A and B are shown apart, each in its own frame.
Chain A
Amino acid sequence: MTENVASEGGPEATDSARFGWLDRSLLGLCLGSLALTVAAGLVQVSFGSYSMSVAQAWRSVVDPAVLLDHRWVLNFLLGEGLMRTVTGFGGELPDLATPTLIVWTIRLPRVFVAGLVGANLAVSGAIFQAVTRNELASPFVLGVSSGAGLLILLTLVVFPMLAAALPIIAALGGMAAFVIVYVIAWKGGTSPVRLVLAGVIVGTVFQSLQTGLFFFADSIGVVQSAIAWTTGSLTGVDWEQVRTALPWSILAIGLSLVGARQLNVLLLGERTASSLGMNVERMRFALSAVGVLAAAASIAVAGIVGFVGLIVPHVVRNIVGSDYRRLVVGCVFAGPALLVAADVGARLAIPVLAGGSGQLPVGIVTGLVGGPYFLYLMRKQEQLGAI
């Protein structure tokens, strides 16, 4: 009898254990974030220099001529060349209505890039917060942003002929700085505090070098381009950027989901993790590398967008708790919501507030949202920092 009961209860019990983490708070967060992302995305596609009505723009988003034609979808996601190889299609792509063409080739990719950047930065921040066991850590605390920024400026000012490879160079700079920080922090092993301090030191030096480089710039155009990169901007992004970021985002987010249990054990502190048989140094480096990869994927397409990696994991943690499987999933949804919404602000701030036609870098908006949130945290929590 008992065996019968056990075998009946068995699969159900496993099922509930497998999906037990997907509870109401996480589901609510994901659905809420999704709704916000979609709403902000729809606002975003409704404005632009080509005038069309809001209804027209929204109809274009769901235009079956694109959504139901796998050639168009693949054309956007893979690029034209790869699309033709995959589908074996040699002819001309079917014509699209002008509003659809504008929405799909100019306005929507910006929303998608914003989504990818938001998800990457949020996941990256969540990883660094576990690795350093500090809630105030962000993708950029370990020198990643300063390294990327320095190489961006160096390229724009000294080696302008390499400007085409800027995304890759920026990502490489971020990774290089991270390695330098790790080497400085290493003294027969690292510690979260030493990593953060080394990050601050490297960041300060690189920041000075960056500021110094501004004085060598030839033209105001170069300076503006440099500022757009170092504050983070989504102006003028295209499907090309979606294609650059997408594979790395999938890889980084996949790895962080796989590594969620390791992150959870790291949260128990170095000593406990090590007595449980974890090779703490190796795991910390590997997980940091995943964090840098996610950050690099977003730097490569949008430059350095601050505060997203700090705020989003924090908000998500407050809602779903500290279990990293839930946290990473939450970040993948909440990150895009914040960044797509912030990008609407970046796009519309100048026209709405000043009546001009310019756009702000999105990093300025996230900074303006992030700063006060940071302050609020500081006032509210007695012990800030420890997870």
Chain B
Amino acid sequence: MSQSDTTPTPPYRDDEHTDCDETPDAQSALAAPAIGTEAEPDGTPFEAEDLVVGYPTSEEPVLDGESLVAAPGEVTALVGPNGSGKSTLLKAMADQLAPEGGAVCIDGSEVADMDAKDLARRLGLLSQENVAPDTITVEKLVEHGRYPHRGFFDGLTDEDRAAVDRAIDLAGVDHLRSRDVGSLSGGQKQLVWIAMVLAQETDVLLLDEPTTFLDMHHQLEVMEIIETLRAESDKTVVVVLHDLQQAARLADRVVALQDGGVRGRGSPEEVVTEELLADVFGIEAEVTRTDLGPQITPLRPLHDDAGADAHH
């Protein structure tokens, strides 16, 4: 049975099972299969299954047995309050954190078993904070995105140069090409970093809060890049967003996390509801349907007992 099999499989339970060649368990009505099963046959299925992730410094796992399937050609947004485990989930999916249990699979093979360069040719990750020397030019920085495609002694091939050009073009930083990174604004830097990850030309792209701390212009620039990717490529995009409103507008699928567990998943309309905002984000808000997805108008914070009142 292949990953892209479109016939639904009979749900069954096996708690120990982390085999990549199986579709994920249907653990609840919220569980993953509904997302992944519509995958087109030519895309790259990307899924995390029963992930348990913790940090060495804390006893409790940050993420406890969560599953996620991201479909090719779609944008999956991870949202949740601070400390909900969304960035942790993303890091584990990029093999930057070793999970204590569960597995992350890309096209049927487990990322933990893959050679680092092989993985980096298939999966690109943009971290939340990035550092570069001030005196490196934009073009040189984007060229580093070709690292996984080059051998130890290899120079840049024509193909590498073409990929760099495409990435710079897509990220809209052509006019900054020969500028030093140190001379750019925060928003421009972020676009350049996105260009670097795009130059990796991976099937799967993970972005960790790409819009946080940017001015509105650059937030929209970043969102436009992601929209272009969805429209013009088959990439599987998973993006952690701090701003629920952006997620509602941008994503095909929204996964809401709280305290290391998934509290809701589905289309923005299904997930972004007044109820979920109260439950997960602890706010009272009004949600109205618009052409750009659900529109959130935050009203006031809910305090613990007040939140319970509103809910019950």
Query: A residues near B, CB below 8 A?
Result: 17-18, 188, 258, 262, 264-265, 267-269, 271-272, 274-279, 317, 321-323, 386-387
Contacts and interface: CB of A to CB of B under 8 A. Distances in A.
A146 B140 CA distance: 38
A15 to B, nearest CB: 12
Contacts of B76: none
A356 to B, nearest CB: 46
Contacts of A386: 131
A386 B144 CA distance: 20
B245 interface: no
Contacts of B210: none
Nearest to A258: B153
Given A276-B200, A277-B117, A323-B140, A188 B131 contact: no
A322 B136 contact: yes
Contact of B147 (A18, A271, A278): A278
B8 interface: no
B124 A275 contact: yes
Given A268-B130, A272-B130, A277 B145 contact: no
Contact of B132 (A267, A277, A278): A267
Interface string B258-275: 000000000000000000
Given A276-B200, A277-B147, A271 B127 contact: yes
Given A271-B96, A277-B121, A322-B136, 15 more contacts: A265-B147, A267-B133, A272-B127, A272-B131, A274-B96, A275-B94, A275-B120, A275-B125, A275-B127, A276-B148, A277-B148, A278-B117, A321-B133, A321-B136, A323-B136
A188 B124 CA distance: 24
Interface string B132-148: 11111000110011011
A265 B120 CA distance: 14
Contacts of B141: 268
B231 interface: no
B306 interface: no
A295 to B, nearest CB: 23
B56 interface: yes
A72 to B, nearest CB: 37
B144 A321 contact: no
B34 interface: no
B156 interface: yes
A269 B200 CA distance: 17
B119 interface: yes
Interface of B: 56, 94, 96, 116-121, 124-125, 127, 130-136, 140-141, 144-145, 147-148, 152-153, 155-156, 200
A279 B116 contact: yes
The 5 closest A-B pairs by CB, nearest first: A277-B120, A321-B135, A277-B148, A322-B133, A277-B117
Given A258-B153, A265-B147, A272-B127, A277 B119 contact: yes
Contact of B120 (A267, A276, A387): A276
Contacts of A271: 96, 127
Most buried by B among A17, A277, A278: A277
28 contacts: A17-B156, A258-B152, A262-B152, A265-B144, A267-B133, A268-B132, A268-B144, A269-B131, A271-B96, A272-B130, A274-B96, A274-B116, A275-B94, A275-B96, A275-B120, A276-B144, A276-B145, A277-B118, A277-B119, A277-B120, A277-B148, A278-B117, A279-B116, A317-B135, A321-B136, A322-B133, A322-B134, A322-B135
A63 to B, nearest CB: 42
Contacts of A322: 133-136
A20 B124 CA distance: 29
A93 B121 CA distance: 61
Nearest to B135: A321
Contacts of B96: 271, 274-275
Contacts of A258: 152-153
Contacts of B140: 264, 323
A226 B141 CA distance: 47
A113 B32 CA distance: 67
Contacts of B118: 277
Nearest to B114: A277
Contacts of A323: 135-136, 140
B56 to A, nearest CB: 7
Contact of B116 (A188, A268, A277): A277
A204 B53 CA distance: 38
A14 to B, nearest CB: 9
Contacts of A265: 144, 147
Contacts of B132: 267-268
A279 B120 CA distance: 11
Given A17-B156, A277-B117, A279-B116, A264 B144 contact: yes
Most buried by A among B116, B120, B125, B130: B116
A188 B97 CA distance: 12
Nearest to B140: A323
Contacts of A277: 116-121, 147-148
Given A322-B135, A322-B136, A276 B153 contact: no
B58 to A, nearest CB: 15
B131 A268 contact: yes
A12 to B, nearest CB: 14
Contacts of B56: 188
Nearest to B197: A275
A274 B117 CA distance: 9
A327 to B, nearest CB: 10
Contacts of B127: 271-272, 275
